[in-house]
């Protein structure tokens, strides 16, 4: 009887151990499955995540007001900041420049650019800044838009002016960028070279302009 008791006890122990092993395996498999699902829902550290859109900010500025807005935009969105320069700069005399610009607009002349953008294809978003000249888009900006292929890019115009607004400049940007997504432009009062007012966007006015720019960037969805 003692032997049978011991033998029965051993069998029960073996069965219990097997049950324990099976239960452990089930628990282990469940943990692995849940871990696998959790990892599938999270980015793997070694996996390359989508890159952020690359931004280029190009601006033309005679009295540095457009430059001031370009720098504010750069502070908010980052990217590459480029000043547009001509092979032959406009005269320093205001009236002579006005005469030249009027002639270029009438004849459709596109002044050659000194500035060259390397690897334009790498940029997704282009901020394009300019003053209002002759109530139109300045000829150097027209030169820029004719030189580069902006197909598929997002173009964001911004403007400074002497109080008369952007004129037809925003419409012209849309016309010259038919295969781009052109967002709502930004326009603000700058200086008035004709009246001897040069850099106006400075000090308190610069702080005010900064708030205007940030509000605009949020409105068009650049900033969240």
Query: Residue 19's pLDDT band (boundaries 50, 70, 90)?
Result: low
Distances (CA, A) of 213 to 58, 135, 207: 16, 22, 10
User: Domain-by-domain residue ranges, the chain?
Assistant: 1-41, 55-219
Q: What is the pLDDT of residue 185?
A: 98
Q: What is the pLDDT of residue 40?
A: 36
Render pLDDT for 188-204 as a digit per residue (tens, 0 to 9).
Answer: 999 999 999 899 999 99
User: What would you report as the CA-atom Rg of the chain, rounded to the nearest whole angstrom?
Assistant: 33
Whether the model clears a pTM of 0.95, i.e. scores above it, the answer is: no
Distance CA 65, CA 19 (A): 81
Distance CA 54, CA 57 (A): 10
On the question of pLDDT at 144 being above 50, the answer is yes
> Domain 55-219 belongs to what topology?
Rossmann fold (3.40.50)
Render pLDDT for 20-50 as a digit per residue (tens, 0 to 9).
Answer: 443 443 334 443 333 443 333 333 332 323 3
Q: What is the pLDDT of residue 52?
A: 77
User: Which residues pair with residue 93 across a beta bridge?
Assistant: none
Question: What is the overall mean pLDDT for the chain?
Answer: 84
Higher pLDDT, 17 or 150: 150
User: Which residues pair with residue 182 across a beta bridge?
Assistant: 155
Query: Residue 13's pLDDT band (boundaries 50, 70, 90)?
Result: very low
Own/partner pairs, 165-168, CB within 8 angstroms, 24+ separation: 165/132, 166/132, 167/132, 167/134, 167/135, 167/136, 167/137, 168/135, 168/136, 168/137
Structure tokens at 149: 């292929």
Render pLDDT for 75-116 as a digit per residue (tens, 0 to 9).
Answer: 999 999 999 999 999 999 999 999 999 999 999 999 999 999
On the question of pLDDT at 183 being above 80, the answer is yes
Tell me the helix, strand and coil percentages in the chain, rounded to 5. 45, 15, 35
Distances (CA, A) of 165 to 17, 29, 168, 186: 86, 69, 9, 10
On the question of pLDDT at 155 being above 80, the answer is yes
The kind and range of the H/E element at 57 are strand 55-59
On the question of pLDDT at 11 being above 70, the answer is no
């Amino acid at each position: 009887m003692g032997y049978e008791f011991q033998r029965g006890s051993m069998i029960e122990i073996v069965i219990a151990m097997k049950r324990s092993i099976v239960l452990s395996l089930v628990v282990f498999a469940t943990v692995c499955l849940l871990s696998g699902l959790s990892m599938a829902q999270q980015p793997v550290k070694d996996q390359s995540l989508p890159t952020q859109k690359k931004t280029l900010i190009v601006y033309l500025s005679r009295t540095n007001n457009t430059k001031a807005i370009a720098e504010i935009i750069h502070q908010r969105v980052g990217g590459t900041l480029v000043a547009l320069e001509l092979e032959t700069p406009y005269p320093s005399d205001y009236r002579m420049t006005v005469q030249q610009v009027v002639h270029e607009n009438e004849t459709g002349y596109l002044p050659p650019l000194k500035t060259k953008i390397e690897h334009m294809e790498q940029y997704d978003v282009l901020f394009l800044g300019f003053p209002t000249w002759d109530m139109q888009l300045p000829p150097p900006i027209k030169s820029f838009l004719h030189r580069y292929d902006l197909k598929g890019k997002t173009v964001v115009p911004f403007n400074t002016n002497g109080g008369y607004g952007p004129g037809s400049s925003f419409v012209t940007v849309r016309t010259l960028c038919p295969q781009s997504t052109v967002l709502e432009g930004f326009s603000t009062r700058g200086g008035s070279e004709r009246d001897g007012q040069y850099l106006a966007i400075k000090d308190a006015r610069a702080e005010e302009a900064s708030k205007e720019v940030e509000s605009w960037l949020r409105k068009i969805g650049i900033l969240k």
